[in-house]
Amino acid sequence: MEPCPIKMLAFDVFGTVVDWRSSVIAEGEELGKTKSINIDWAAFADAWRAIYRPYMDKVQNGELRWTKLDDLHRMMLAETLKKFDIQTLSDDEKEHFNRVWHRLKPWPDSVPGLQRLKSRFVITTLSNGNVSLLTNMAKHAGLPWDCILSAENVHRYKPAPEVYLLAPQLFDLKPEQVMMVATHEHDLKAARKHGLRTAFVHRPLEHGPGKKSEIAPTEPYDFVAKDFCDLAQQLGT
């Protein structure tokens, strides 16, 4: 037995657990049919997501006071609708479409992989998504989290240290007993900086088809996995 075994796995969610892009495209296309809006919904999804970091930065740098991700998504949606010159959605339709982020579909291995990992570890979200978004998503997609931890708990977005340290602090663990699982290297690098262990998971389709081949990460991490089932295998669950 290693001296300081991993007790808890903390997961990035958008891209790592759920396929945000295809989910937003699918709902966009449905909405487009209903409302006769003929645009490239893949381009729309990419444009909506492209301003994710800039909007969170407005909170980080104090330009906006603490604003939960649902409300940032709503502002980002308004900007994206304007960009695509879509003016025919009612407030209720916009509100419903904005909550597509509560209804994102998991990658095929996410639920079975998490079920296996849950048998040995405490599994939690550690996401910039707000608590209700993550809870509703889990309910919708059948994600078997042990608990929901969010940037909203500390009113700071990743990569703020408070978010990464939330898991060890709440669970009386050393940072190295918690492993961050993500497909984004910037997230893993920040987690490692604060003492967490790291697992990189390949998600070559996050930004769409045509990138099926797995590109090796630029730095070494404690684990590198093809998907959650592979990670479970490597962790002996």
What's the closest the beta carbon of residue 104 comes to its own copies, in angstroms? 16
Range 140-170 burial, b when 16+ CB lie within 10 A, else e: ebebebeebbbbbebebbbbbeebbbbbbee
Look at residues 138, 131, 157 and name the one whose alpha carbon lies nearest to residue 58.
Answer: 157
Q: Which is nearer to its own copies, 4 or 147 (CB)?
A: 147
Q: Say if CB 182 and CB 219 are below 8 A apart.
A: no
Q: Which is nearer to its own copies, 43 or 173 (CB)?
A: 173
What DSSP assignment string belongs to 173-198?
--GGGEEEEES-HHHHHHHHHTT-EE
Q: Which is nearer to its own copies, 26 or 235 (CB)?
A: 235
User: How large is the angle between the packed helices 41-50 and 69-83, nearest 10 degrees?
Assistant: 130
Q: Which is nearer to its own copies, 52 or 171 (CB)?
A: 171
> Which parts of this chain interact with its own copies (CB under 8 A)?
70, 118, 122, 124, 130-132, 134-136, 138-139, 146-148, 152-153, 170-172
**3-state class of 11 per DSSP?**
strand
What's the closest the beta carbon of residue 185 comes to its own copies, in angstroms? 28
What's the closest the beta carbon of residue 181 comes to its own copies, in angstroms? 17
What's the closest the beta carbon of residue 221 comes to its own copies, in angstroms? 25
Q: Which is nearer to its own copies, 22 or 125 (CB)?
A: 125
What's the closest the beta carbon of residue 180 comes to its own copies, in angstroms? 18
